[in-house]
Amino acid sequence: MSQNDPYWDAFIHRAPADPNNLITHAFAHVQPGEVNPVKSEVHSPNVMAGHIKELGRFFGADRVGIVALAGDRAGFSAIVCTLKTEFDTRSAGGIGGQAPALKGLFVSFNLCAVIKEMGYRATRTTDERDRLAGLVGVGVQGPGRHVAEVVCTDLPLAPDQHEVLV
């Protein structure tokens, strides 16, 4: 598309008049499902981590990393997914500019759903996603890369990196 096209510029950069017209707004407010009361047995956290990463890529992530959380979050892992993007989703507020954010929500929402169906807790959060993405080496938020919501879970996963609290 042409850089000088005013319609394209509005599609990428101008936020909609009503946030409900932006699917990322609606998707982010979907109520989470319940955790299956019957836990699936996890024989190998290494193998399960590989399956989760593959599933994240299947849903649309380009890179997926896992961080073992520390402190009051010990026993939980953070699954961090990033997606390629042409525009920085922090400043490209238009419907087109938010397309990578929508894809990221799709990835994190579906990862949570699968993990809950397996009988483990899973929540989505934007807290510290840039720090965790940098820690695990999947890229940082900006032009060329969107960091999706982080999935925090008690599913036994072998981490790529351990969180260090200072």
> What digits encode the pLDDT tens for the residues 6-33?
888 888 988 888 887 777 777 777 777 8
pLDDT at 109: 92
Output the six-digit token pair for 34. Answer: 């319940």
* Tens-place pLDDT, residues 42-98: 999 999 999 999 999 999 999 999 999 999 999 999 999 999 999 999 999 998 999
User: In DSSP terms, which residues pair with 150 in a beta bridge?
Assistant: 125
Instruction: Record the pTM.
Output: 0.88
Q: What is the DSSP letter of 36?
A: P
Percent of the chain exceeding pLDDT 90 equals 73
pLDDT band at residue 1 using 50, 70 and 90 as cut-offs: low
**Spatial distance between the Cα atoms of 152 and 80, rounded to a whole number of angstroms:** 9
Instruction: Compute the mean pLDDT over every residue in the chain, rounded to the nearest whole number.
Output: 91
Name, in order, each residue with C-beta under 8 angstroms of 5's C-beta and a sequence gap of 6 or more: none
* Tens-place pLDDT, residues 104-154: 999 999 999 999 999 999 999 999 999 999 999 999 998 899 999 999 999
pLDDT at 23: 74
Sketch the domain layout of the chain as residue ranges.
60-161
CA-based nearest residue to 148, from 121, 117, 124: 124
